[in-house]
Structure 1
Amino acid sequence: MPTVSVTRAGLADMMVEDCVRARAAAGQVPPKLVFSSNGQGVSLAGRSREFRDTMLEAAWIHGDGQSIVIASKLTQAPLPERIATTDFFHDAAQAAIEHGLSFFIFGGSEKQNAAATDAIGRLYPRLKIAGRRNGYFKPEEEEAICAEIRESGADVLWVGLGKPLQEEWSVRNRHRLGGIGWLKTCGGLYAFLCGDAPRAPEWMQRFGLEWLFRTMKDPRRLAWRYLTTNPHSFYRLLVHTRRRPIER
């Protein structure tokens, strides 16, 4: 998957630029899809051509997992740093405040979504929150949900439905969301924001062991996932990483 070689600050600048351009277009262009790449996603893309094609619909894919950054060292265009969505959110919030952009918080349970939105308000009282909605809905409700999001005037829609649902939802509904600059998938971001899930120590993140920390905290849910995806993603990163930069 083509992964943008940029810093967290640089990606935040790209967000601002894309959102300002979307405002100027007055709803005439669809939002840009911004997805993240990690070990789970690499493994899933290797097993599902459908998911791989969905990922390739993104305007930007950033290296969310440390394994992606490590693999990039094999190339002529190594990634300057890991852009974990849980960290990038704070860069994005600061940039949004400086440029008057607004966020819509979509996904998670009602309790978690509300708690995460409250936490954002405490962390960034000057940040504009255009609206929020939980991630539980019926397929026939998607059009009304998109109308609610579009009418909120949000610049960035954070989509926290988990892989692969959030990527599939974003591709399926982007034509209904003209005027929004970014659809940014965010996985478990809300759990971290509201304190349901602690971050791994800095040294574990640096050595690509955040998955181990998370597994120790929630072995019943995560042990099988990481035992099956980690070896597969390691193989794919080793064998299929392109050495030369991709021209876009």
Structure 2
Amino acid sequence: MSENSDASFEMALPAAYRPSVEATGLKRSDSLVRARLGGIQTARVTRSQLADIMLEDVQSARAGLLRLPRVIVASNGSVIARYHSDPQFRALIDAADLVDPDGMPLVLASRLLWKRPLTERVATTDFIHDACRVAVEQGLRFYFLGARPGVADRAADRLRALHPGVQIVGSRHGYFGADEEEEICATVRSSGADVLWLGLGSPAQESFAIRRRASLAGLGWIRTCGGMFDHYTGLVPRAPQWMQNAGLEWLHRSMLEPARLGVRYLKTNPAAVWHLLTKSYER
């Protein structure tokens, strides 16, 4: 797909679905170098840099300089495959303020194709520790929304134990209807949270983040996090480190849930590889 067709698609998006400097305020994240990776504009960012950006955005929101929260989403093989097959999902990803490289295959592809590859993978399940350290040091407050009943609560307890002093000011499961969304947003706002961690699964979490960002004004960030809460309750163990480093975490997850994830990866992996090889442009 050409750069021109990408630009045409962005211009065709409804205004409410496009990130706006006027709406969110020009911040350090706007100056990050971004590159087309598998067709998605992906930030060249490390976990440490992302934690600094989170702090800056929260401080701006507290000072009233950020009208709407930043929406931060992750890219991996499944996201890339869906991005090119589902126009509505593509609109959501394009509307996010920042896309980070969650999947190790993205880092490996950049090493193969680019002179200046990505420095590291920004896995949300790892990044939460960087975010918690900054939160403890600077007094940031988190809210967890998503997963099955009780899972977000237990994940919050686990992270409080790992990072004493971290303020997780509320948590709620992700099973709710559209008629409950406004009330949930009001609860998040009233909790005093600075960052909403949103683990509803894709594409529901991206849709909620973009559609409801105005209802969450006052927060600094809405951060999608997929199955992160499940990992911190022990329901879904991480792959061995060697598999993570080799970009094979998807295989580990397929072995754990072959009926659900095995079939999905068989469909999405070939498409993701194709898009990574043909739609990755270094800048």
Provide the TM-score with structure 2 as the length reference: 0.84
In structure 1, distance between residues paired with 2:279 and 2:149: 40
Q: Per chain length, whose mean CA-contact separation is higher, i.e. which structure has more relative contact order (CA < 8 Å, sep 6+)? A: 1
Instruction: Say if 2:100 is the partner of 1:62.
Output: yes
Question: Counterpart of 1:57 in structure 2: which amino acid?
Answer: A
Question: Counterpart of 2:178 in structure 1: which amino acid?
Answer: P
Instruction: Say if 2:194 is the partner of 1:155.
Output: yes
Instruction: Say if 2:198 is the partner of 1:164.
Output: no
Instruction: Say if 2:269 is the partner of 1:230.
Output: yes
Deviation at 1:77, TM superposition (A): 4.2
C-alpha offsets along residues 86-130 of structure 1, whole Å, 9 cap, x if unaligned? 000111000111111010010011121221122122212200112
Equivalent in 219, 225, 236 of residue 197 of structure 1 = 236
Whether contact under 8 Å (1:5, 1:77) holds in the other structure is no
In structure 1, distance between residues paired with 2:233 and 2:140: 22
C-alpha offsets along residues 60-89 of structure 1, whole Å, 9 cap, x if unaligned? 110000111122232354211001000001
Instruction: Say if 2:122 is the partner of 1:122.
Output: no
Instruction: Say if 2:149 is the partner of 1:110.
Output: yes
In structure 1, distance between residues paired with 2:256 and 2:177: 31
Instruction: Say if 2:254 is the partner of 1:187.
Output: no
In structure 1, distance between residues paired with 2:171 and 2:230: 15
C-alpha offsets along residues 202-232 of structure 1, whole Å, 9 cap, x if unaligned? 1111110011111112212211001000001
Provide the TM-score with structure 1 as the length reference: 0.95
Q: 1:41 to 1:62 in 2, by over 3 A?
A: same
Aligned to 2:47: 8
Question: Counterpart of 2:92 in structure 1: which amino acid?
Answer: T
Aligned to 2:69: 31
Question: Counterpart of 1:117 in structure 2: which amino acid?
Answer: A
C-alpha offsets along residues 125-152 of structure 1, whole Å, 9 cap, x if unaligned? 2001121111111101111110110111
In structure 1, distance between residues paired with 2:271 and 2:135: 37
Match of 1:208, SS state, is coil
Q: 1:76 to 1:19 in 2, by over 3 A?
A: farther
Whether contact under 8 Å (1:55, 1:167) holds in the other structure is yes
Greater Cα shift, 194-203 or 180-189:
194-203
Deviation at 1:9, TM superposition (A): 0.8
Matches within 5 A, 1:92-107: 92-107=131-146
Whether contact under 8 Å (1:3, 1:62) holds in the other structure is yes
Question: Counterpart of 1:207 in structure 2: which amino acid?
Answer: A
Greater Cα shift, 67-76 or 161-170:
67-76
CA RMSD of aligned residues (A): 1.1
The 4+ residue runs of structure 1 with deviation greater than 3 A are none
Instruction: Say if 2:114 is the partner of 1:75.
Output: yes
Identity %: 45
Match of 1:2, SS state, is strand
Question: Counterpart of 2:230 in structure 1: which amino acid?
Answer: A
Match of 2:202, SS state, is coil
In structure 2, distance between residues paired with 1:140 and 1:214: 33
Whether contact under 8 Å (1:43, 1:236) holds in the other structure is yes
Question: Counterpart of 1:183 in structure 2: which amino acid?
Answer: I
Gaps of at least 5 residues in structure 2 are 1-39
Aligned to 1:241: 280
Q: How many residues are matched?
A: 243
In structure 2, distance between residues paired with 1:218 and 1:85: 20
